[in-house]
Amino acid sequence: MTKLKKIALVTGVSRGSGLGFAMTKDLANLGYKVIITSRKEENSASLARQLKDLQLDVEAKVLDVTNRDQIQSLVDWIAAHFGKLDLLINNAAILDIQYTGIDKTDLDFVQQEINTNFIGAWAMIKYCTPLLKQSERGIILNISSGMGAFHDKDMGLLNFDKATIPNYSLSKLIMNGLTVKAAKDLKDDGILVNAACPGFTATYEAFVAMGARPIEESLPGLTWAATLPDGDKSGQFFRDKELLPW
């Protein structure tokens, strides 16, 4: 009997220079069928074609993680075609580092950032859980940041040395809390939930000039956290295969 491929879903894959694309390529090379999503069909579809040209099993779908009707439609499609989901990577996020004081912040933008970075991730977990329960070993990986931890020595909230803590940090702080809640809530279902920080990575040209490291240095830790050779880790926060302080 032929064993079914593992099915992975990666949100927020819209740029060839992004971590989502790099993780997708890695997972597909490991034998996963990877479903990638972005808000604009042409972005994820173009990236999927590039990987299909390399004989990798990748499919693109449109998804805005703040649109629950779209999430449900995607989940229904996965259920109809595969009957399960083995890996969910919550990668979609608004990355906007603005050093704006608390009394000058645009709260409408904060709401938009929280809706995508936190509520969107929660919605993906909620709607995908029935499919993850059908996996032999369901895994959820939230792509987070040390900026959302209190004690990270480089960028944590208590050690942040810029003018003010960005809203992005707070969106990742609550995402890290969501990771712990989901890990506890889904423990009895055998679903592992963890968060991983890629470190300061050169996903944009501007980051290169600021000293960001190449994607090739960040990727192994993310792929490791997504595939977890040790099956008992859940509710943890990693960078480069090492535990990060919260």
CATH of the domain at 182: 3.40.50.720
Least confident of 48-57, 137-146, 155-164: 155-164
3-state secondary structure of 242: strand
Residue 1 lies in a domain: no
The upper half-sphere exposure of residue 178, i.e. CA atoms within 13 Å in the direction of its Cβ, equals: 26
92 in Cβ contact with 120 (< 8 Å): yes
Residue 194 lies in a domain: yes
Residue 155 lies in a domain: yes
Give the pLDDT of residue 91.
97
Residue 84 lies in a domain: yes
Number of domains composing the chain: 1
Residue 142 lies in a domain: yes
- Predicted model pTM: 0.95
Give the pLDDT of residue 227.
96
Which residues, in sequence order, are bridge partners of residue 168? none
Which residues, in sequence order, are bridge partners of residue 9? 35, 88
20-53 pLDDT, tens per residue?
999 999 999 999 999 999 999 999 999 999 999 9
- Looking at per-residue pLDDT, the higher value among 211 and 37 belongs to 37
The domain of 226 spans 7-243
Residue 2 lies in a domain: no
